[in-house]
């Protein structure tokens, strides 16, 4: 069998394909370069020292991630159109006849359109921004990144949850407005009520001076529970957003130290045994 014609055809095909492959490779390299350039540009644009307005840092970070997401999709779209054109596809006629939205729907990307639209309304309605702690769709965490299509949450275990924007609903935002710190402390039932109250008030006054995160209080709400062994006091304070957990820890620590210093022991169940026929 004469292989020369076969090799000749293969050589001819390769020579016809190589220019297109070279152009595609060049487009991919340029795409990566432009993506890196766009990311650097956006980061520098939102540097605190470059912002001429007193924009909230969290809102600035939100706009930064959103702009990066939008530019990334735009660059990928242009690169895809360029590659199709290199392969000989008449992209002009395709875009003119169907339109960009029509192409998206034609490829079964209705959910993509929903994600983008929902993401727009999340930003427009200021439901949450980067850095907020939210609960939605059965998940909770800090908003780490917001994009045109997805939002990323990082929970307290460090796990990142990626949510399509169209799945985000019934959002609970824990970072808006002041929070409430609530602590209960138990003392023996036999302890003097007025002495305990004075001790708690003194401790609360010290906490108010020491903790900048407290915006109101701490205040004693009173005795909320009684049992044969103990009486439970409840102390309340209003804190800055997302500071209530740390304030509660500091309150418990200070109250425990104050009770120890005053010689008030923790309550414990007491059992009294009486022998039959004995007065004791």
Domain closes at, from 98, 121, 153: 98
CATH of the domain at 82: 1.10.287
For residues 131 and 53, which has the higher predicted lDDT (pLDDT)? 131
Answer whether residue 154 is part of any domain: no
Residues 6+ apart with CB under 8 A from 273: none
Answer whether residue 44 is part of any domain: yes
Can you give the pLDDT at residue 219? 94
Q: Which domain holds residue 232?
A: 179-261
Answer whether residue 59 is part of any domain: yes
Answer whether residue 235 is part of any domain: yes
Answer whether residue 274 is part of any domain: no
Domain closes at, from 77, 98, 119: 98
For residues 84 and 245, which has the higher predicted lDDT (pLDDT)? 245
Can you give the pLDDT at residue 49? 46
Please state the pTM of the whole predicted model. 0.57
CATH of the domain at 257: 3.30.70.100
Answer whether residue 147 is part of any domain: no
Lowest mean pLDDT among 40-49, 173-182, 211-220: 40-49
Closest by CA to 134, choosing from 105, 154, 118, is 154
Q: What's the number of domains the chain is made of?
A: 2
Can you give the pLDDT at residue 226? 92
Can you give the pLDDT at residue 30? 85
Q: What is the pLDDT of residues 168-198, one digit of tens each?
A: 888 999 888 889 999 999 999 989 999 999 9
Name the average pLDDT for the chain. 79
The H-assigned helical ranges of the chain are 4-45, 57-86, 91-98, 100-106, 110-124, 193-210, 244-261
pLDDT at 59 > cutoff 70: no
Judged by phi (left if over 0) then psi (alpha if -120 to 50, else beta), residue 227 lies in beta
Q: At what angle do helices 91-98 and 57-86 cross, to 10 degrees?
A: 120
Answer whether residue 117 is part of any domain: no
Domain closes at, from 70, 98, 126: 98
Average pLDDT of the residues in 218-222? 94
Residues 6+ apart with CB under 8 A from 210: 250
pLDDT at 236 > cutoff 60: yes
Answer whether residue 55 is part of any domain: yes
Average pLDDT of the residues in 256-261? 93
Can you give the pLDDT at residue 129? 84
pLDDT at 133 > cutoff 60: yes
């Amino acid at each position: 069998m004469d292989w020369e014609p076969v090799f000749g055809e293969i050589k001819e095909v390769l020579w016809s394909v190589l220019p297109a492959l070279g152009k595609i490779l060049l487009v991919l390299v340029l795409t990566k370069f432009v993506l890196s350039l766009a990311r650097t540009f956006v980061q520098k644009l939102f540097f605190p020292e470059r912002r001429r307005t007193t924009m909230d840092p969290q809102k600035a970070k939100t706009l930064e991630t959103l702009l990066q997401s939008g530019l990334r999709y735009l660059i990928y779209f242009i690169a895809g159109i360029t590659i199709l054109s290199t392969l000989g596809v008449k992209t002009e006629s395709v875009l003119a006849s169907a339109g960009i939205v029509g192409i998206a729907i034609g490829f079964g990307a209705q959910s993509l359109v929903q994600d983008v639209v929902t993401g727009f309304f999340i930003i427009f309605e200021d439901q949450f921004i980067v850095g907020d702690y939210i609960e939605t769709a059965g998940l909770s965490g800090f908003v780490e990144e917001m994009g045109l299509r997805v939002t990323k949450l990082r929970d307290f275990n460090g796990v990142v949850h990626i949510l399509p924007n169209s799945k985000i609903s019934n959002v609970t935002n824990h970072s808006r407005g002041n929070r409430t710190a609530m602590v209960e402390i138990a003392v023996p039932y036999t302890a003097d009520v007025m002495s305990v109250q004075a001790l708690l008030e003194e401790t609360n006054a010290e906490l108010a001076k020491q903790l900048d995160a407290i915006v109101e209080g701490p205040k004693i709400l009173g005795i909320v529970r009684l049992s044969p062994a103990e009486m439970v006091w409840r102390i309340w304070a209003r804190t800055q957003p997302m500071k209530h957990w740390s304030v509660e820890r500091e309150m418990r620590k200070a109250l425990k130290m104050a009770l120890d210093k005053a010689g008030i022991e923790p309550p414990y169940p007491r059992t009294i045994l009486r022998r039959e026929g004995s007065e004791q």
